[in-house]
Amino acid sequence: MADLAVHPRLAHMLLIAGRGAAALAALLSEGERPAPGSVDLIPLIEGRVRPEARERLRQEARRLAALVPERPAMAPGAMAALAYPDRIGLRREGEAARYLLSGGRGAAMPPGDPMEREALIVVTDLDDAGEEARIRAALAVEEDALRAALGDRLTLVECALWDQRAGRVRTRRQERLGALILADRPWEDAPEEAVAAAMLDGVRTMGLRLSEAAERFRARVAIGREAGMDLPDLSDAALMARLEDWLRPWIGRLRTAEGFRRLDLLPALEAMLDHGQRQRLDQEVPAIFVTPLGRRVPVDYGGEMPGIEIRLQEMLGVTDHPRAAGRPLRITLLSPGGRPIAVTTDLPGFWRTAYPEVRKEMRGRYPRHPWPERPWEAEPTLRAKPRGA
């Protein structure tokens, strides 16, 4: 390469492409540029150069040809790719002639240039001013010729990615040349782990979608933690930070946002607690309240404090106020017609203070239902007296 006395890029091209690349190397080494109106180097390679430069370029080409071996013929674009493997351009979608270069940067062709429809080019001269470089000289190249020249630089990339717009995991098998994707096909047999990792990326984008039951469970755990119980943090931030730990085993081969929306996350959240933690949670922060009649009433943990709604007659005889995580439940007492008539966090106190007024008002509205004077001593019931009794 040193003996050729040209830029290493051009020396590399000459040693691989041989004598056929001498004319192109001479043009590029001497800094010859296309005439205004087109960035195409082909006219210069064919000899349409400035008269004053013609003999100098011919002599330089002869000198270089004498120093390198004969090689099989190559297309000019393929030879240029040997010198500029980082400047192979793939046309972006759209009307404007904008290219992504294999080195990762962008470049634009002058509007109206005869080469503006070329899918693949090799850029030999760039104006680096601005965010997107301006192409000043280039050669078109066919994909087959490019593959033949730079086959050792092609890489096969198998990837599973979350497509936010489509709301699904895309699995692709791609042939890449630097930053360029030359071939893009479905990756039909993508392993479950790759699909799952992409699906978790989708969850990070979409956020968690918890069912009402899962939200109630999370609220119970949060209250238990506030009470000093040894329980995991199930806040959004903590769950998102540990998706691989708790969610991965439950998503299987899910690929879509719709599939994730249908997935109930309650079992996954419950599995984050061991057996002892579950038992203590059920004891101290119960999901249900069992009434004196054995009926199971869900505890609502969605408000400022846990609470239940229950018919007043069903709580007759209760003298110990129900609690959750050491805190009294907010009990909304209902009339026989199901309407709220009182709210208390101290049922024994309610019986002795507020109940007499409630009894006085409700007896006239619901005469067939019991309204005992001493409710703390009465039997709970959901029955009404027979008509006429």
- pLDDT value at residue 196: 95
Supply the DSSP symbol for 21.
Answer: G
User: How deeply is 371 buried, as exposed, middle or buried, from its count of CB atoms within 10 A (0-12, 13-18, 19+)?
Assistant: buried
- Concatenate the DSSP letters of all residues of 108-141 into one string: EPPTT-TTTT-SEEEEEEEE--SSSEEEEEEEE-
- pLDDT value at residue 131: 73
Q: How confident is the model at residue 178 (pLDDT cuts 50, 70, 90)?
A: very high
Give tens-digit pLDDT for 25-37: 999 999 999 989 9
**Rg, the chain, Cα only:** 39
Q: CA–CA distance from 62 to each of 15, 66, 178 (Å)?
A: 15, 6, 34
Residue pair 296/275 in contact (Cβ under 8 Å)? The answer is no
CA torsion angle 66 71 72 73 (round to 10): -40
Look at the pTM and tell me if it is higher than 0.85. Answer: no
Task: Look over the chain and give the mean of its residue pLDDT values, rounded to a whole number.
Answer: 94
312: its two tokens? 């007043």
Q: % helix / strand / coil in the chain, to the nearest 5? A: 40, 20, 40
Quick one: CA dihedral 71, 73, 75, 76, positive or negative?
Answer: positive
In whole angstroms, give the CA distance from residue 95 to residue 208: 40
Residue pair 315/344 in contact (Cβ under 8 Å)? The answer is no
Give tens-digit pLDDT for 250-294: 998 899 999 999 999 999 999 999 999 999 999 999 999 999 999
In whole angstroms, give the CA distance from residue 45 to residue 30: 13
- How many helices (H) does the chain have, and how many strands (E)? 16, 15
240 Rama sector, left if φ>0, alpha if ψ -120 to 50, beta otherwise: alpha
In whole angstroms, give the CA distance from residue 347 to residue 339: 18
Query: Which position has the token pair 């080409």?
Result: 61
Q: Report how far Cα 358 is from the mean position of its chain's Cα atoms.
A: 56
Helices 22-29 and 76-83 sit at what angle, rounded to 10 degrees? Answer: 50
Helix or strand run (H / E) with residue 336: none
- pLDDT value at residue 87: 96
Q: Which residues on adjacent β-strands are paired with residue 173? A: 158, 185
Supply the DSSP symbol for 256.
Answer: B
- pLDDT value at residue 386: 67
Residue pair 256/311 in contact (Cβ under 8 Å)? The answer is no
- Residue ranges of E strands in the chain: 88-91, 98-101, 106-108, 120-127, 133-140, 155-163, 168-177, 180-186, 288-290, 296-298, 307-311, 323-324, 327-328, 330-334, 340-344
325 pLDDT more than 90: no
- pLDDT value at residue 129: 66
Residue in 84, 17, 35, 30 with CA at minimum distance from that of residue 58: 30
